A and B are shown apart, each in its own frame.
Chain A
Amino acid sequence: MSAKLTAKNVYKVFGSSPETALDLVEQGKTKDEIFESTGQTVGVHDASFEVDEGQIFVVMGLSGSGKSTLVRMLNGLIPPTSGSIMVDDTDVASCSGEDLRKVRRDKISMVFQHFALFPHRTVGENAAYGLKVKGVGASERREKAQNALDQVGLGAYADSYPDELSGGMQQRVGLARGLCAESEILLMDEPFSALDPLIRRDMQDELLQLQRSLKKTIIFITHDLNEALILGDKIAIMKDGRFVQVGTAQEIVGEPADDYVAAFTQDIDRSRVFKVKTIANEPRSLTLQDSLADAVERMEKLERDALFITEGDKIAGVLSYREAAPALRNGETTIDPVLNRDYAAVQGEAYLHEIYEAASAGMPIAVMDGDAFVGVVRPSEVFAQLVRGEEAAAEAGDRMTAA
């Protein structure tokens, strides 16, 4: 995969003489100290990152941490103080106004926190705005806008005005406007923050669904770590203008870089972050041809109370110690008669919360990759992973209060 957007050492200082502020930054002064002594605000402090094509890159941070500033530099709405921002092979940070407009028209579109729909235009005209600016003809515009509105489920509202729609619907129009411009990169600055929690969940799911078919490169801003974890292929945690950690959801939650990040991850539902494959063990299965005695011996050695039995490259079923041991004592020699042909199987890409029910049955769960049997998860391991988070977070919390 290739990088669609690359930011290198990007700084933004709000103030009259950014050079002096940058000097202070070099000397290791903090954002607050620099504001005290110069009255200038360091909005973004040395941000470097790459976003691959088709990836969702989430920037998460509290309000005032510089997220909006960062995302507005990516399409040049705010010019960076220093650094480079390559979109394909245009440096947005230093190109001419004309080139910048070209990038905005063809490569990057944006979705705004408070929707920023044009109240004097219909929903359809709003969606088509990017095309209008490009000079696309009216009939083509209408057709493509209709298409984009269909994609977000608002096909019937093209002739309504934005103020006739609910908040969630308005943001869908905002999204349609971004999609309709047919740019490869979508910048989304807290697009769902102004929506009710339930609608927010719907919109997140819908965005993921759209992304599956559209494969846009998305830079998504949020102040909600849960949202970041749900959406992000890669997540950057921002504090006082800096990135304190960049990684996948599992890296952020599994190995928080510092106490600041750890404090965030404290309340996170780990079962929605970790995938089944992260806790799966190698399958240690026997085949249906093996003897019952071998199977019981294997279980005793591995201290397992159940084993998967395969037949060819398929799973035949699961053998439990509780049934196998008495059968062996009663003189049974083959596995077949005591085999449980009902067993739980789950895809490795599934999240832990999806296997709670299966795990509560107490039997091991087969982990599949498509049709292939690739691993085994024991119920106890599911809960161990969830508990580990509680402990780590509690420790981090202690350190934070001690510090």
Chain B
Amino acid sequence: MWSPSDIYEMPFGDWVDFAVKDWLVPNFRPVFQSIRIPVEWVLDGLDGFLNFVPMVVFTVVLVAIAWRAAGRGLAIFSIVSLIFLDLIGVWSETMTTLAMVTTAVFFCALFGVPLGVMAARSDRFLKVLRPVLDVMQTIPPFVYLVPIVMLFGVGTVPGVIATFIFALPPITRLTNLGIRSVREDLVEASYAFGSTPRQVLWEVQIPLAMRTIMAGLNQTLMMSLSMAVIAALIGAGGLGLTVNTGLGRLDVGLATEGGIGIVILAIILDRITQSFAERRSSTSPSLTGILRSLFSSGKPARPAADKQAA
């Protein structure tokens, strides 16, 4: 049977190869190298800090947060599982993975939320952004590992950058969605009292979209964790590396130790961030409100008004 490739075989792979190797890398290497700097900064800081904090102190703090955010069940689970991770000897890897994930989520929020806000305010921008996000979300991460290595080298920082690309879409999408679904009459009311567009955004839209944005943050976090193993392929450390090493040596035990670490982190972080998204049933908490309630004593109480009175 005849097919077009009988006449012509398109060297598409060569073109891409050329574009990346002979044009992008030599011309833009300095740009990409400078992108590394802030990522490296945040990552090293976090990694250093988390590995410096004694295991017991970290556990106490995380358990306290889990308790406040999601209740006693998660607190007990956290204690047991963190002790388990320490006992099986992957504590330091767990902290490195946590640092990587936190860094990736931090940059995702830093870029994703403003992008989402812009998309919510301009249909035209959304039209451009949406296919880009679609591509980022559907393209298998393995495909861009190679160019990332070429541009950024190997190591944990490129791993975080790959994670960033993979995990950016949900928070961007959900920020856009959250802001667009703020009730139209509330936005109108805000304008009616003389708000500037910026005031409408900060006083009304962002606080009311906070639940949805938090749901996006939760998804971004989960996707970041799921990248831990893939990022290890380009030299990132942490639990992903443990898993990969185990795979390479066909060491089921080692791979399982790394895998369990990732799962436990995922469960704890998922529950905590989910509780942020669900905090108040009818309305959204503000970020400061969440932080305050985490650190203040007692349940965040609202004075119950008597509906019958007056």
Contact = CB atoms under 8 A, between A and B. Distances in A.
Interface stretch (B95-103, B127-135, B298-306): B298-306
Contact of B189 (A110, A160, A161): A110
A169 B302 contact: no
B204 A77 contact: no
B144 to A, nearest CB: 39
Nearest to A119: B283
A181 interface: yes
B193 A130 contact: yes
B194 interface: yes
Contacts of B186: 116, 118
B305 A160 contact: yes
Nearest to B189: A116
B193 A104 contact: yes
Contacts of A102: 194
A33 B296 CA distance: 64
A187 B188 CA distance: 13
A157 B194 CA distance: 25
Nearest to A163: B282
A118 B204 CA distance: 7
Interface stretch (B107-115, B170-178, B195-203, B251-259): B195-203
Contacts of B188: 77, 112, 116
Interface in A103-125: 103-106, 109-110, 112, 114, 116, 118-120
B283 A133 contact: no
Contacts of A120: 207-208, 283-284, 286
Contacts of A118: 186, 189-190, 203-204, 208
A378 interface: no
Nearest to B281: A163
Contacts of A104: 191-194
B249 interface: no
Nearest to A177: B193
B124 interface: no
B185 interface: yes
Interface centre among A106, A130, A164, A177 (most CB of B within 10 A): A164
A102 B193 CA distance: 9
B203 A132 contact: yes
Given A105-B194, A110-B189, A132-B203, A164 B310 contact: no
A106 B207 CA distance: 25
Given A119-B208, A120-B207, A164-B304, A156 B194 contact: no
Contacts, number: 81
A201 B182 CA distance: 32
A164 B303 CA distance: 10
Interface residues on B, range: 20 to 34
Given A153-B310, A166-B307, A169-B310, A114 B194 contact: no
A325 B190 CA distance: 74
A274 interface: no
A103 B193 CA distance: 9
Contacts of A159: 303
Nearest to A129: B193
Contact of B185 (A112, A177, A181): A112
A29 interface: no
A200 interface: no
A88 to B, nearest CB: 16
A5 to B, nearest CB: 15
A154 B194 CA distance: 25
A104 B183 CA distance: 20
A156 B310 contact: yes
Contact of A161 (B183, B195, B283, B286): B283
Contacts of A181: 193
A134 interface: yes
A138 interface: no
A159 B306 CA distance: 12
A153 B310 CA distance: 8
B209 to A, nearest CB: 10
Contacts of B203: 118, 129, 132-133
B283 A163 contact: yes
Interface in A72-125: 75, 77, 101-106, 109-110, 112, 114, 116, 118-120
A1 B22 CA distance: 80
Given A112-B185, A161-B302, A166-B307, A101 B192 contact: no
A119 B303 CA distance: 15
Contacts of B282: 119, 163
A151 to B, nearest CB: 14
Nearest to A166: B307
Contacts of A165: 305, 307
A160 B302 CA distance: 8
Given A119-B208, A133-B199, A105 B310 contact: no
A169 B186 CA distance: 18
A161 B71 CA distance: 25
Nearest to B303: A159
Contact of A157 (B183, B195, B286, B305): B305
Interface string B281-293: 0111010000000
Nearest to B193: A130
Interface centre among B192, B195, B204, B310 (most CB of A within 10 A): B192
13 contacts: A77-B192, A101-B194, A104-B192, A105-B193, A109-B193, A112-B189, A116-B183, A119-B282, A120-B284, A133-B199, A156-B309, A164-B305, A169-B310
Given A119-B283, A133-B190, 8 more contacts: A75-B192, A106-B194, A110-B189, A112-B185, A120-B207, A133-B199, A159-B303, A160-B305
What 7 A-B pairs have minimum CB-CB distances, sorted nearest first?
Answer: A105-B194, A104-B194, A160-B305, A116-B189, A130-B193, A119-B283, A110-B192
Interface of B: 183, 185-186, 188-196, 199, 203-204, 207-208, 282-284, 286, 302-305, 307, 309-310
